[in-house]
Structure 1
């Protein structure tokens, strides 16, 4: 029996190690930005606005399709494509009425990656950007794309829509802080580095999951148990709430080496170091609701002091969490939004429950369909409506083109950003 048990354990270990090996991150190329952009003036907010918009492919490689969305996250210019589900993170500058952009690209649903070097000639929009004039319509980005296989492909795209993407109020909500471990982004799901990356992936908002430690601390973690998928350590296994926060900080590391953040740590980073507009707190440990609401109040005040307009919503996914919110001694201290008269709550249950807790957002599952009548009712009551979790391109297209939801939760914010911004609704 002992020999059989050892054999089984070895087999399981081999399977687990193989699964973990499959999740090794995709390495992005290294770009020497200092050398590439030497002597160039950095973009200001006007230049980034002029660059933002919807582009069409004029010439060159077809790997990214015929429509491209260009936006920005802080100082970084970003691009999103439907074909290849690719995101670009580019840095750039201006010199002699010409514009240069250089950076990396990555196909999120595969392992393809490479470097992009693009420029705008003075006569093709460079002078307009240098002078900060116009709307950028007709500017032409041209250059070269390299791939991980070593190929070099020409690429020419032209701006056909001047919409300022930042002014749209549709929320692109990234699941698990930006993406799952299976996307091999080099940072772990529900980690601080992941939420710092989320904006570059196309997200305007993030959903993060809350579990609890043995000593009652809310932490950001999805699963109720530790496994090799999330924490590949022989010292950390089993139920999350078997461990104190001190123990987890000492020995638990996520698959890409990060520590597991507390709720306070995560909210501080989102407020201080990102431009994300909304946070969906998916509560998976309702027993620590008082602690969650305490952290929420602290974060709201921190955002107010820093002049940050970020909506932090308490998620209600089930009846147990609904009861925990309603019965919390801190429920009455949640602030009512003066514009909508609602509380900072996102409820996934029926619309009667939404009204019962005066939730700001109703968030049904995507399998229920467009639900146009109920969505209209909620909007009439000044509530927003999100839908979850939508990853399939056909379903995303249906919800974007035919639905009236105010946001979509997805594991692929890059795909959703590309599809929404290049759709008629996104413009």
Structure 2
């Protein structure tokens, strides 16, 4: 495979990330929703067909200078408790990984959407409110027999957005254009949904970030698996306890030197969460989200059989619920492949291989996952797909290359720290 120029990659990364980046000891909290539309007396939750009809690619009229020419609107949900499901409409925009996360209600013969926006590459954020009035497509969206797709120009969202907690004073409107790209594609969020360095209000590799991931555009997540001193599989990226990932706690050194009880009692992630067990993370995936893919990146696993047992248990639970979910044991190194091959019937175990195609074939991996800096391996990808395997590439964050790889139309998924960017380029592709 042809390697991409290191200089080109470096220039692209610097061009994307440079700017008013806040200090890494802060988070960017989501602004509080003002709620005058969502909590209005008589406001109703939107029906499934109405939500579905809202999805699509829209042309931005007012606000294009800040958010680009087009946006992609896509629904997701989070189960907060049994019988308590909240649906979110995310608007994915092109400039600087911008996105809106909104909730919607029917108020009379109109639809009201409120929430916030954020640029993932810096600290810019604010509240937003949009209305689809009866004469601007509200009657179409609320029609129980609403057909899809909505014709171009028939639905118009109008409203305002603000900066931070300030009043919303900047006008924005967008008009229905075409359906979302229907091609199946996995948008895989790195470290459960986002890195701690991206200042999200949930820590990387936490159950909370997993629940947030679908709102950021993810259809799947990659999570990092290590084992504690007493053998409990947990989520944690680095091999050491450190202040990059955790609050001050008095514990130092390799994470495998501590029992799970010690970690659970004394260690909190940057945003205050406990380090989750693998079972807690998969519980969140299966019961609280619509995620379709989980990539278990086995960073430091001494008991591969235990990880496989947990994988299979939660796969069975997802299947019993009718969930379209696949959980892969990810194998990033020769060492983990050797451990995996020692398992009985390992070739029947659902796995993902980051090494060469020959190794992926030998262990019968369901997914081959090469790194993106080797270029887009189109020929190898087609060969693997002809054998019934999927191909995910990792870890790609540069928008120009994301757009290029998606337009090449060969990959089955991209692992990224910027799920909103991948979501935008995938859904608007024609």
Assess same fold via TM > 0.5. yes
1:413 pairs, out of 410, 413, 419, with: 419
SS of match in other structure, 1:62: helix
- 183-192 vs 286-295, greater mean Cα deviation: 286-295
Report whether the alignment pairs 1:123 with 2:125. Answer: no
Give 1:162's match in structure 2, choosing from 179, 188, 199. Answer: 179
The equivalent of 2:216 in structure 1 is 201
- Residues 119-142 of structure 1: CA distance to partner in whole angstroms, max 9, x if unpaired? 112122100011131332321101
Task: Provide structure 1 residue ranges, at least 5 long, that are not aligned to the other structure.
Answer: 1-19, 335-342
Q: CA deviation at 1:34?
A: 6.8
Q: Please list, as runs of the form range in 1=range in 2, the aligned pairs for 1:18-167 lying within 5 A after superposition.
A: 22-33=24-35, 36-38=38-40, 39-74=42-77, 75-132=87-144, 133-135=146-148, 136-137=150-151, 138=153, 139-148=155-164, 150=166, 152-163=169-180
Mapped partners of 1:83, 1:76: distance in 2: 21
**What is the deviation of 1:421?**
0.9
Secondary structure of the residue aligned to 1:359 is coil
Q: What are the equivalent positions in structure 2 for 1:381-420 lying under 5 Å apart?
A: 381-420=387-426
Whether the aligned pair in 2 keeps the contact of 1:217 and 1:291 (CA below 8 Å) is no
* C-alpha RMSD of matched pairs (Å): 1.7
* Structure with larger RCO (C-alpha < 8 A, sep 6+): 2
Q: Provide the aligned length of Structure 1 versus Structure 2.
A: 394
Distance 1:72 1:225 in 2: 37
Alpha carbons 1:23, 1:181 under 8 Å: kept = no
Alignment deviations for residues 381-410 of structure 1 (CA, whole Å, 9 cap, x no partner): 111100000001111111111251100000
CA contact (8 A) 1:318 1:349 kept: yes
- The structural deviation recorded for 1:60 is 3.7
Q: Larger C-alpha radius of gyration, 1 or 2?
A: 1
Query: Contact 1:386–1:408 (CA<8 Å) still a contact in 2?
Result: yes
Comparing 181-190 with 32-41, which one deviates more in the overlay?
Answer: 32-41
Q: TM-score, normalised by structure 1?
A: 0.89
Q: 1:237 to 1:143 in 2, by over 3 A?
A: same
Where 2:271 maps in the other structure, the secondary structure is coil
For the residues of structure 1 that align with 2:317 and 2:209, how far apart are their CA atoms? 21
2:196, 2:62 → 1: CA distance? 35
Deviates more, 1:126-135 or 1:382-391: 126-135
Secondary structure in structure 1 of the residue aligned to 2:61: strand
Distance, in Å, in 1 between the alignment partners of 2:350 and 2:132 is: 44
Q: Which range moved further: 88-97 or 217-226?
A: 88-97
Contact 1:40 1:93 in 2 (8 A): yes
- The gaps in structure 2 that reach 5 residues or longer are 1-21, 78-86
